[in-house]
Amino acid sequence: MPDPGQDSNFDDSFLTLARSSEGLYKDKGSKFYFFAFPVQDEQEIKELLADLRKKYYDARHHCFAWVLGKEGLDYRANDDGEPNHSAGDPILGQIRSNQLTDILIVVVRYFGGTKLGMGGLIQAYKTSAAMAIEANEIIEKQVKIRIQVQFPYPQMNEVMKLVKTHDLDIIAQEMTLDCQMSLEFRQGLEQRVTQALVDIEGLELSTA
């Protein structure tokens, strides 16, 4: 597993999933279809949940948990009709135990005729969430910030040298007599990059 603290100079890293994953867990006739997604915001989460409800419209329960933000302070767990804390919390627990954020895990249950009991439900949802993560890949990402810069064309070489030195991403650019550029980079570089940009004669910067 990547170590978000491996670069002691920065505190802008977090762990999340590389892609979406899915699978099936069975217990006493009940089927638990599990899904895991890397997500950016609540709107994306709502859309993913709506898509799954439409696809699995006949399922009795769509239980889920999600976490957003580097510190994981924005989160939710939903039992969707299962006994309180028997589904959403076990899913959230697996997200927390893997130190993940910007993630949504959904477990869609089809009842198989045999009740699992509180303990059985907790174990089934915990196992389903763990399998969703295991079927994926945990990666390290950085919190990104974006700024806009405007500068005279003769300063282009100096700006591009800075872009290359700090491995900045050029999101958009307009090359005229007065050039404009949108740059994105990891949060930990903010002070270093903005100071270097300010030192370029004639350059103006603002947040995106």
Q: Is the Cβ–Cβ distance between 105 and 94 less than 8 Å?
A: yes
DSSP 100: B
Which residue type does 201 have?
A: E
Buried b / exposed e over 130-160, threshold 16 CB at 10 Å, is bbbbebbebeebbeebebebebeeeeeebbe
pLDDT (tens, 9 = 90+) of the chain, 208 residues, equals: 444 434 445 688 899 999 999 999 999 999 999 999 999 999 999 999 999 999 999 999 999 999 999 899 999 999 999 999 999 999 999 999 999 999 999 999 999 888 999 999 999 999 999 999 999 999 998 888 888 999 888 888 899 998 898 889 898 888 887 888 898 888 888 888 888 888 888 888 777 5
Q: Where are the domains of the chain?
A: 13-141, 143-207
Please count the other Cβ atoms lying within 10 Å of the Cβ belonging to residue 50: 10
pLDDT of residue 9: 56
Class of domain 143-207: alpha beta
Backbone angles phi, psi at 204, to 5 degrees: -120, 140
Pick among 3.40.30.10, 3.30.230.30, 3.30.70.260, 3.40.50.970: CATH of 13-141? 3.30.230.30
pLDDT of residue 50: 97
pLDDT of residue 111: 93
